[in-house]
Structure 1
Amino acid sequence: MAQIIVHPKTALVDEPLHIRVTGLLPSQLVMLQASLTDEKGQLFLSQVFYKADKNGEIDLEHAGAIGGDYVGIHPMGLLWSLKPKKILSRLLKRDVINSPFLVHLDVYDFIQFFTSSPDSLMASETVERWYSAPGVQRIQIKEGQVRGALFLPPGEGPFPGVIDLFGGVGGLIEFRASLLASRGFAALALAYFAYDDLPKELDVVDIEYFEEAADILLRHPKVLGPSIGVVSVSRGAQIGVAMAIFLKQVAATVSINGPFLTDTIMIKYKNESFYSLPSPERIRTNELGILTCYSALGNPQEEANQHAFLPVERAQGHFLFIVGEKDYNVNSKPNAEQAMEQLRRHGKNNGTLLSYPGAGHLIEPPYSPLCVASWNPFIPRPVWWGGELIPHAEAQEHSWKEILKFLRHHLTPTSISKL
């Protein structure tokens, strides 16, 4: 009798699973299917074909898929190849504390499945994928101007503090902060527009707001001072770099696919401001009617006269730039290369660049499905984020380990004392 064996059945989303199928006939062809329904009722599905070995078993750590959503040996492929049944949907966990994503794993007889036989389903199993470890605490933050959610690891602490920033979709996105707290960081998921009583649209980025958030984080008795880290993506990465430039509290900045050329959204701190006049319209629409925005600011090495580049050389902390070379939302690799060049030109070695061929814009924690395109509530057309399935999955797995290592290295008392 066929059986799906998964270990562990309950785990954090960044933990790998060991998936095996036993009780098959020797060399039997089967289809493995993973399915997940998100909190909005949207279905995500992956289907992959395998051939049992001579013992009637399939071990995903050693067996190569022979067709379907991917081919080859990919132990976690069933999860990172999940795709939405409703196109242009992004898998986004909202309640990160109280409930996991339930992933249903099914194995079907290959022949019977395609002949629509009611006996095609051979075995099923369900796994829980959590965004917060047991004991992680969520605290709503509404202090002064600052709005967000603070996630604290279990225990007395103190824990290294991190501010987590997302991009131009606005609102409050918490899944990465809760996962960071599960890995030992006091993580503040910070909203900065289109949330609660914050501005509905982003016209001006005032770094004093983010300074206030950093001070609130550092005042918490369970947060290890005197410095914090920032993890940021897209527009948030631009803000994260600006925070590192202006705020002495920021010791380590992770910047994922960020633009560092200025644009029509002003970045200001006290008496300094950075912005550019509108440039010629270069946002393009592909043949599917989806926007590709990566050419909007062009290449920073070629556009120095039209746009100011943020003075990254003024930052006292350390940078980890992460870019996907198939990012179709931000021209992120030239931006990160220009930032590294400016640091070198000023005699600084506080930057590291990780560039991933085939990765797209939305580089997220490991085993997250690739989102190639989705809707942004502030843009009338869907946005093309880019990325190729397998390279993007590999980039997510590698970069997450590097992010955690980078933050731990630079937010310990020994490393902070050297700044």
Structure 2
Amino acid sequence: MILAKGPVRSREKRTCEEPDFSDMVILLVSPEISLVDEPVKIQASGLPPEKVITLRAWLKDEKGQIFHSRAFYKTDMEGEGPFPGVIDMFGGVGGLIEFRSSLLASRGFASLALAYFAYDDLPGYLGEMDLKYFEEAAQFLCAHPKVSSDGIGVVAICKGAEIALAMASYLPQVAATVCINGTNAVNGNSLIYGDLALSGIPYKAERFLITDFGSLSLLNFLDDPGKPEHQDSILPLEKARGPILFLVGDKDENYNSLFFAREANARAVKYGKKDVYLRCYPGAGHLLEPPGSPFCSASQSTFFPLPLTWGGELVAHCRAQETSWKELQEFLRKNVRCSRRNKL
């Protein structure tokens, strides 16, 4: 966006006030020298999107008097790109869910909502998971002319978070990963990738619980990955190229997600990976979604005879959604790089 400001005087000095990124900002002024009755166009680049900035101008005339002006602007979206690429996935409900991906796109990310079963010509049920499918999605996004080729981010919840962690562990295209209420190991469905094969930890169907409200709790459905017989199913997150952020609710009644995130963090410490982060939100349930999403403690699923219990406390969960959404975006902006600067 070109900003027209004027009239201004020929000996004017111009700066852009923003201490966090002013060393990256470039101001282009046309014409560079002008008289008081001529308009001046100013273009600023190197600014993050949707940021309020202050432009100041001042000069000292021949009598030593200082003239100054100040204007406030909000930067656009990134314009022509390239944009930071993000793959967005949901969990065991299957199908194509796009609302979070759409919001990420509105915030300046080139976001790909990726279905992996129960959609179009994909299998109706989730069976063996071939990481090659997800690698092709990452390659497709990286190769897009509007996407930065330096690497992509992955955001996923539930079963999708398990796949996201596998992608981070094995795919070089993944620069940053956000796992929302997921696990640290392959569960149920086996994972293959070329010659690699990881058996899924068997589900414990006998641990299903029916709540007083008649919904189904899967909280103890997944076995402890720390058992000796399950060690080969644990995902080697220490191999991940980039940082990993675990976002979990401590009132998740679908997964024991806090336990799994702590196990993942402990493995990172053990192997010396220092860029694994855990954020736990007190009172939050399983469905940590963008702000404005309605609080849902239980809902019907196509693949179960009873509604599934998601957990969470109304006020605490809604607050967690506001906080986690901001932290998710900040994490992606910091760790999924763009090669071109943004413009005002």
- Displacement after TM superposition at 1:304 (Å): 4.3
1:223 is matched with which residue: 127, 136, 147?
147
1:128-277 to structure 2, matched below 5 A, reads 155-276=79-200
The aligned amino acid for 2:213 is L
How far apart, in 1, do the equivalents of 2:237 and 2:178 lie?
Answer: 13
**Matching of residues 5-404 of structure 1 within 5 Å:** 155-276=79-200, 278-280=202-204, 281-301=206-226, 303-306=227-230, 308-404=233-329
Tell me how far 1:205 sits from its aligned partner: 1.2
Q: Does the 8 Å contact 1:300/1:334 carry over to 2?
A: no
The answer for the alignment partner of 2:45 in structure 1 is none
Q: Which has the larger radius of gyration?
A: 2
Tell me the matched-pair count: 262
Percent of pairs with identical residues = 52
**In the alignment, is the contact (CA less than 8 A) between 2:218 and 2:255 conserved in 1?**
yes
CA distance in 2, matches of 1:275, 1:288: 35
- C-alpha distance after superposition, 1:48-73 (max 9, x if no partner): xxxxxxxxxxxxxxxxxxxxxxxxxx
Tell me the secondary structure at the aligned position of residue 178 of structure 2: strand
Give the whole-Å Cα distance in 1 for the aligned partners of 2:245 and 2:203: 29
Structure 2 counterpart of 1:270, which letter? G
- What amino acid does structure 2 have at the position aligned with 1:240? A
Which position in structure 2 is the counterpart of 1:405?
330
- For structure 2, the residue ranges without an aligned partner over 5 or more in a row are 1-49, 51-76, 340-344
| Structure 1 residues 230 and 288: alpha-carbon distance in aligned structure 2, compared to 1, 3 A threshold | same
- The one-letter code of the counterpart of 1:185 is F
Letter in 2 for 1:217: L
* d(CA) in 1 for partners of 2:99, 2:256: 25
Tell me, in whole angstroms, the C-alpha distance in 2 between the residues paired with 1:371 and 1:279. 25
- Given residue 387 of structure 1, which amino acid in structure 2 is its aligned partner? G
| 8 A contact 1:299–1:334 mirrored in 2 | no
Cα shift readout 1:339-378 (whole Å, capped 9, x = no counterpart): 1110110011011100011000000001221110001111
Q: 1:394 to 1:304 in 2, by over 3 A?
A: farther
Measured after TM superposition, the shift of residue 276 of structure 1 is 3.5
RMSD: 1.7
Amino acid aligned to 2:307: P
Deviations 1:211-245 (A, max 9, x none): 10111111111001120000100000000000001
Q: Which has the higher strand share?
A: 1
Q: CA deviation at 1:262?
A: 2.5
Q: Does the 8 A contact of 2:203 with 2:223 survive in 1?
A: no
Aligned residue type for 1:369: P
Asked if the contact 1:257–1:332 (Cα under 8 Å) also holds between the matched residues in 2, the reply is yes
Over residues 294-343 of structure 1, what are the superposed CA-to-partner deviations in whole Å (9 max), with x where a residue is unaligned? 21114444x34346321111111110100000000011001001111101
Equivalent AA in structure 1 for residue 235 of structure 2: L
2:84 partner SS: strand
Q: Distance in 1 between matches of 2:228 and 2:209?
A: 22
8 Å Cα contact 2:82/2:338 also seen in 1:
no
Unaligned runs of 5+ in 1: 1-132, 134-152, 415-419
